Structure 1
Amino acid sequence: MKKFFNKECLSVSIVASTFFLVTVTVAPHALAHDAAAQRIKQLEQSLQAIQAELQKIKAETAQSAQKVKNIEQTTNQTAQKVNTIEQTNAVLEERLVPDISQMAQKDRMLFFRGGFAHMMNHRNGVTIQSQVLPIGAQDRADRNGWYIGAGLDWNLTNDVWGILPNTSIFAELMFEYKEFGHDVEGNGAVGNVPSMLAGGGLNPIHVTVNQFTLAASPKVKFFKGSKLRPWIIPAGLAIHVLSPPSESITYIQPGVQFGAGLDYHLWKNFYIGIDGRYQLTAGNVDGINLSGMTAGGYLGIGF
């Protein structure tokens, strides 16, 4: 029994020793395997983190690239707009430069006229030559005389409303005084002191034969920007006031005015010019035809 017990003890000892040796031998390898697995797991996690960071950086880079592309497109559009604006400004400058140079010549003018006047027909009237009461002195004025006047040019357009470049349309308001005689002998009926109808002797008074004209006309001036500018009046309205009145006591007669002339820019805002005008009235009105012409010069002041 004792022998058997000793054998059992020996067997247990051998098994225990063997287990201890196996444990001592295998345990370090198992521990090392677990540490390597843990390390691998950590490396995988690090790689995943790095990959996620790379994806994030890649996405941010793509967004930045898109932003840069948008900025480039915006810059190109802005550059195109700037080029368009510069081209527009260049065109406007080309159009404005002549206008600026032409602004030195004022677009409005006050002018003062004077010169020679001529009537196409002799005048008669209530106090001069009379066909109603042909008594006493039957004098009449000469058909030639002189005139003075003034007027205003007001610019409406510098290119005939886009039709003709460098051609201006002005509205002209003009008035003038014409005189054809101041010592015409009055007739015996009402131009004599006392009247011969009352038994007086021949004692004619001196009568002034004159005429006042008020006219409104379109005026076409050529060569805008030039110092020398010819112009024409194609047709305008003229109202004539005559003195002495006609034998039927008519003293106002309408008509049409035509004209042509030439402006010269003399110095600063001062101009000189010559003009000729023709006043046409519609036949005889109560025995008087006031058709006539004037020719002379003028001094203008631009403003």
Structure 2
Amino acid sequence: MTFTKTQLALGIAAATFSVALIAPAQAADARQAERVADAAARKAEALEAQMQQMADQMQAMQSELSRVKTSASAKASTEAAKIQELDQWMGAMKAAPAASTSKDNLVSVRGGWVRLDDARGTNHGGLNTNMNSGGNMLSDNANADGFYFGGAFDFNVNNDLFGLMDATSFMVELGVEYSEFGVGRNNLTTAVDAVVAGGAPVIGPDHSTDNRLRINASPKIKFMHGSRLRPWIIPVGLELNILGVPSNAVSVLNSGMQFGGGVEYELYRGIVLGADTRYHYSTSKIDGTPTDGFSAGGSVGFKF
């Protein structure tokens, strides 16, 4: 019985010792498990955060891709609309008749009546003994009225008067005119014939035709551009006078000015009718031969 109690006591002691040894080990294992669980939880949280970040980035990339696609689609639509509009314009241009450009240059022929302020001579009926008066040594033509004809070229420079006035054209006129005033007695040959041959024509003809030539270069201002009816003025222009019969000093050329105004009307597709008046002024006579005078006439021109 004693032995049995002793064995029982020893068994209880051994069991108690075993429990004492096993309990700390189990506590250590529990703490280790907690640490592992905490680490795993932290890794899971970090991984979840990374996944969320990646999801946000993917969402941003999808939004940007959608924006780019929308922009590209809108741009493609705009370009397609422009191309379609260009095709329509080209089709309209091909179908439309060729538009004629505005023709503002003008070439014209003109003629009319001219009157000198002073006739060249004063004694048409007989011998003029004062051959120095009026430059009538070679022609004593007393007729101050005559006719003229000629032509002109109007070159268009601009249609706004250098930006000063709308619908107002600035042009340069280059013209030439032939004028004739009749026949006068050549006092020189008549006098020589009277002295040498008793009046018989020995030296040459005793009459000469009083004719002139004018060459001008003038600025011309035309109003009402785009209208069929266009008035115009020449403020002042350069003019050269050439005598057909020389002056008493046998000179034939002098310079002067002209002033004028007129009106033009486009009758039909570039065919222009005109009328004008001009005054011709020289600062001096050609060695006594007068050239100043007034002219009026009409013209027919063609635009190009």
Counterpart residue number, 1:254: 255
Identity of aligned residues (%): 30
1:219 Cα deviation from its structure 2 partner: 0.9
1:44 paired residue number: 45
The match for 2:163 is 162
Paired positions, count: 263
* TM-aligned CA deviation for residue 124 of structure 1: 3.5
Q: Residues 252 and 286 of structure 2 are in contact (CA less than 8 Å); yes or no, is this contact kept in structure 1?
A: no
Task: Name the aligned partner's letter for residue 230 of structure 2.
Answer: R
Query: Which residue, 114, 119, 124 being the options, matches 1:117?
Result: 114
Unmatched tracts of structure 1, length 5 or more: 76-100
Tell me how large the CA RMSD over aligned residues is: 4.1
- For residue 210 of structure 1, what is the aligned residue in structure 2? 211
SS of structure 1 residue aligned to 2:189: coil
Q: Partners of 2:132 and 2:47 in 1: how far apart? A: 136
Conserved? CA contact 1:102–1:225, under 8 Å:
no
Aligned with residue 197 of structure 2, among 187, 196, 199: 199
Instruction: Write the distance in 1 (CA, Å) between the matches of 2:172 and 2:229.
Output: 19
* 1:140-189 Cα shifts (integer Å, max 9, x gaps): 252111111111111223222122221122111111000111x43433x3
- Residue aligning to 1:107: 104
| Matching residue's letter, 2:229 | L
Q: Could you tell me which residue of structure 2 aligns to residue 149 of structure 1?
A: 150
Contact 1:129 1:138 in 2 (8 A): no
Which residue of the partner structure matches residue 86 of structure 1? Answer: none
Distance change (3 Å), C-alpha of 1:268 and 1:133: closer
Letter of the aligned partner of 2:189 in structure 1?
A: V
Q: TM-score, normalised by structure 1?
A: 0.70
> Which range moves more in the overlay, 213-222 or 153-162?
153-162
Task: State the one-letter code of the partner of 1:122.
Answer: A
Cα distance in 2 for partners of 1:215, 1:23 equals 134
Equivalence for 1:266: 267
Question: Aligned partners of 1:175, 1:28: CA distance in 2, in Å?
Answer: 130
Distance in 2 separating the partners of 1:263 and 1:231: 8
For 1:114, the aligned partner's letter is G
In 2, the alpha carbon distance for the partners of 1:221 and 1:161 equals: 13
Q: For the residues of structure 1 that align with 2:292 and 2:128, how far apart are their CA atoms?
A: 19
**Pairing of 1:1-303 with structure 2 (within 5 A):** 6=7, 9-15=10-16, 18=19, 33=34, 36-37=37-38, 39-53=40-54, 56=57, 60=60, 104=102, 106-124=103-121, 131-132=130-131, 140-181=141-182, 183-187=183-187, 189-190=188-189, 195-203=193-201, 205-303=206-304
Quote the offset at 1:190 in angstroms. 1.6
Task: Provide the TM-score with structure 2 as the length reference.
Answer: 0.70
- Distance in 1, Cα, partners of 2:100 & 2:291: 40
Alpha-carbon distance, 1:250 to partner: 2.3
Once the two structures are TM-superposed, the CA of residue 37 in structure 1 deviates from its matched residue by 3.8
Letter of the structure 2 residue corresponding to residue 238 of structure 1 = E
Distance 1:36 1:200 in 2: 160
Give 5+ residue unaligned stretches, structure 2.
76-98
